[in-house]
Structure formats: structure tokens, C-alpha cells
Amino acid sequence: MVHVVGGGFAGVECAWGLARRGIACRLWEMRPVQMTPAHQTGLFSELVCSNSFKSRLPDSPAGRLKTEMTALGSLVIPTGEAHSVPGGAALAVDRDRYAQAVTEAIEAEPLIEVCRQVFTPDDAEAALAAGDQVVLATGPLTSEPLAKWLAQQTGQEHLYFYDAVSPTVEAAGLDRSIIFAQSRYDKGEGDDYLNCPFNKEEYERFIDALLAADRVPLKDFEEPKYFEGCKPIEEIASKGRDSLRFGNFKPVGLRDPRTERRPWAVVQLRPENREKTLYSLVAFQTRMKWGVQQEVLRMIPGLAEAEFVRLGVIHRNTYVEAPKALTSWLEVRSRPGLFVAGQLTGVEGYVESAAMGIYVAVQLARLAAGLEPSMPPRHCAYGSLISHLQDDTEREFAPMNINWGLFPDPPENPKAKSERRALKLAAADEAFQHWLTALG
């Protein structure tokens, strides 16, 4: 028996994917018996905030992922299409009709037994002891006892309860005539870090804009005490204009090759992946609202033309440190039989979470048939997400949406963005078709 825990985006896709492949499962959902702080109904796959599944254009990263999910038998994407509302290039859905339709489809599926109960650590231990498989798809607001239990299974230090995502940029848009590669005191590889050097005037202008920027207010369930370890830079700056220059942006051990001097302050960039197509801003936690955040970020020397694939957020979340805790088929390394799907794996967003639900169903179906798990090729959207979850580059592992930077650069790597992206898409399509054929 497979126990799929959580009837959100990943849980419904996993249960549906198993049923489509002839495997019976029990789908546990605690709502409406026990609600999360964000959900409002007992419906499956409820959207807790925006009603957008992001771009439906096939030549965008989110559109590409939807194409691959649909080919693997998604429930969420075609149901979203069937209940879409006008949203331009985005797939926007009527949230009630959509969730109602998903709920009806799941409840009508004979191979899915719906169990409206809180799944507890005792339930998990009993299921695993009986030789059952357990897929935890309980999302960013996983009930507390289960989250604590998962922390024990993965090793406490490999489960995060808060998400302090630093902004992340595509390497291709960085101005290398300003930004220079150097590790502090030349320790480590020369290009481990990139440095955006401020002079005094640039720093002062940046601090003015940072202090003036609107901030996202905390939600009721996001108590400030959790944020002590990752104080937003705007709060640090409000304690004194030089505090960032002597703290998060300190320039010590660095020399700007243009001036041969130490910069006034520095924002450092660290690679987010092995291929160095993405860089995140180091120690740059922020709650600035997204519109103004882009404007402020572009004031950092060298980032005026940068493409931000992710902006900074600090919010309540639950996710494992996937590169350390999970196999590439999303089984907990230290607890055979226990799988993780959805946002808990370290992806972010409705669609990405749903994608990981289908993925686990595909792998469980293979295991049930006595086959080895099958990894998606690196170049397709699935391969790009799994690569993010498996990349053990030294970094602060943080949840990620699907984006261009996750797709590997083509060997010819043309300068023009449109050409580069067209080549990435062509490679993704070819790789995915191979995988699909191999899966059978």
C-alpha cells in the first residue's frame, strides 16, 4: 500500500499518477478536520494565494514544465485549463471551480481511498513498519508533529521551517566590466565569488532607496522570533547607514581591479549551480516588496541589466535540504520507504510542487514493477528541477521555481538571449522525448 499524505498540489498528482498506472493508494488530507493557517476549504489542491499557474506559453520555462507534466498524465494542468479565466499569457484559474473539479476527479477514482484525517508520526511509523510506502506531500504548512518527525528522519539540520531566499540572477545578464571574480583574501577558487563593488556615492544612494522601499508585512502565523537568524538587510540598515558596509556587505580581503583599491562596500554573488548559470546574492535577505525590490537591486553596480529569476522573500515554509537528505527519486536517504513530494522537496510554487507529485508516482510505479528509478535527462524541465534538488554545490539551499537559469547553457552559447533560450528549449524537448520513450 502507498500512503500519500496531503491533498494539495503534489498529493493529488501523486495519487492520480499512481492510479493511472494501476497502483492503489490511500490519500490522507487533514482538512477540513484540521485547517492550515492559509487554506480556507476542505477541497483538494486549494490555491492559497494567487490564482495563477504562471505562463502557459510553451516557449517559457513554466510552459515547458506544463508540457512535460501533461505528457506524464497530470490532473492539475488539464483541470486548470478547463477552468481557466482570462489571464493573458498566464494560466489563471477559477479557484473554486478548479479545486471542486480536482476533488470530484479524485473522489471518483476507485484506486484512490480518501482518508480525511491528520496523519501523525505514529501513522507514519506503523505504515513503514508494515512495509508500506509513505509519500509526504504536506507542503509548506505541514502540521507541526509531522514536521518534527520528518526533521528527525532527515537529521534536524536538514529540515527548514523558514525560507529566507536571497535574490538570484542569471549569469548571462551580469556586467563583467564592473563585477570582478575574487574570493576574500584569495581563499578558495578564483571565481568562487563574484563581487559587485560600490563606491561611496553608489552605496549612499543604495541605502536611501533601501530604507525608502515598501516592505511585505508579516502574516499572523509568521512570528518575528523565527527571523532572528536571517534579519532583513533593510532592518540592519535602519540601525545605522554603515551597518551593512561593516556587516553583510563588508569589502575586506577584496580588491577592485579597476581601481586597485578595496571597494567602499561589496555585494557578493555565489554560484547557485555547478554550471554557474545562476548566482544568488550572498547574505541578502529582504522583505522589500517585489516591484520596488527589482528597482533597488538594479542599483547594485553590475546588476543594472540583470535578469532576476527569483526575488528575495522571507516566509514560513517547510522543506528538506534535498541534496543531502533525498535520493534523486525523492526517497529519504536515511529512511527507505519514505518519500517526499511537492514543496517539501525544495521546489516552490503550485505547478512545480504538482510536478514533483507526478514524478514520485512515476518512480513508485517503476519500483512496483521491479524496475530501477529512471532519472530525467538534465536538459528537460524535469531534469532541471531534479538537478537543483541534487546539486550539492556549497550554497544556502533554498526553494526554487522553474526558470531559464536552471536549464543548462547550450554548448554554442550565443550572446542573444532569444537564440540561447530557443536552443535550451529545443534541447529540453529532445531530451524529454527520449525519457518519455524510455519510460514506456
Ligand X SMILES: Cc1cc2nc3c(=O)[nH]c(=O)nc-3n(C[C@H](O)[C@H](O)[C@H](O)COP(=O)(O)OP(=O)(O)OC[C@H]3O[C@@H](n4cnc5c(N)ncnc54)[C@H](O)[C@@H]3O)c2cc1C
Q: Given the rule CB under 6 A, which residues bind ligand X?
A: 5-11, 28-31, 36, 38-39, 48-50, 118-119, 137-143, 146, 342-344, 348-350, 353
CB of 64 to ligand X, least distance (A): 16
Residue 39 or 324 with smaller CB distance to ligand X: 39
Residue (115 or 422) nearer to ligand X, CB: 115
Q: What is the DSSP letter of 300?
A: S
- CB 284, CB 237: distance < 8 Å: no
Task: Report, in Å, the least distance between residue 98 CB and ligand X.
Answer: 13
Give the residue with the Cβ less far from ligand X, 140 or 301.
140
Whole-angstrom distance, CA of residue 404 vs CA of residue 55: 13
Nearer Cβ to ligand X, position 308 or 350?
A: 350
Q: Minimum distance between the CB of residue 38 and ligand X, rounded to whole angstroms?
A: 4
Minimum distance from residue 440 beta carbon to ligand X (Å)? 27
Compare residues 76 and 237 and give the one whose CB is closer to ligand X.
76
Give the closest residue to 431 by CA, choosing from 392, 377, 394: 377
Contact 36, 381 (CB under 8 A): no
Query: Using CA atoms, how far apart are residues 395 and 265, in angstroms rounded to an integer?
Result: 22
- Which residue, 3 or 270, is less far from ligand X as judged by CB? 3
Say if residues 281 and 269 touch (Cβ distance below 8 Å).
yes
State which residue has the least CB distance to ligand X.
8
> Taking the complex as a whole, how short is the minimal distance between the CB of residue 31 and ligand X, in angstroms?
5
∠ Cα 215 218 222 (to 5°): 145
Q: Alpha carbon of 54 to those of 46, 294, 311, 388: distances in Å? A: 16, 19, 16, 20
Please state the closest distance from residue 52 (CB atom) to ligand X, in A: 7
> SS3 for 293?
helix
- Going by C-beta distance under 8 Å and a sequence separation of 6 or more, which residues neighbour residue 30? 116, 117, 118, 119, 143
